[in-house]
């Protein structure tokens, strides 16, 4: 075996190893992407379920105590309005 053949063999081996490493890296990234997508879907499902439960609780509370619900909503609205006016007046100074 001469020097050129040895160099060609080593070069071919290195190229093969590089292709395998690149293939494994791409597969790993793809698997990670799939896993992240599934986690995001699951998180969105959980948030959707929690929002639906909160909406049901709120609707039930409003049906059980409509006057109290209106008073609480008015108080919260007044608080937010007051806070917005206060912060707006501070910015003009």
Give residue 67's pLDDT band: very low, low, confident or very high (50, 70, 90): very high
Q: How far apart are CA 75 and CA 77, in angstroms?
A: 5
**pLDDT number for residue 1:** 62
Average pLDDT, the chain: 92
For 34-46, the pLDDT digits (tens) are 999 999 999 999 9
The H-assigned helical ranges of the chain are 3-64, 66-92
- Both tokens assigned to 58: 């709120």
- Both tokens assigned to 38: 């599934």
pLDDT of 93 over the 70 cut: no
For 1-36, the pLDDT digits (tens) are 677 788 888 898 899 999 999 999 999 999 999 999
0.75 surpassed by pTM: no
């Amino acid at each position: 075996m001469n020097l050129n053949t040895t160099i060609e063999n080593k070069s071919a081996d290195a190229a093969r190893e590089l292709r395998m490493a690149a293939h494994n890296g791409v597969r790993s990234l793809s698997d990670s992407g799939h896993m992240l997508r599934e986690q995001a879907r699951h998180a969105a499902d959980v948030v959707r379920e929690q929002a639906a439960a909160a909406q049901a609780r709120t609707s039930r509370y409003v049906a059980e105590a409509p006057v109290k619900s209106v008073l609480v909503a008015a108080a919260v609205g007044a608080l937010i309005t007051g806070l917005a006016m206060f912060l707006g007046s501070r910015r003009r100074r």
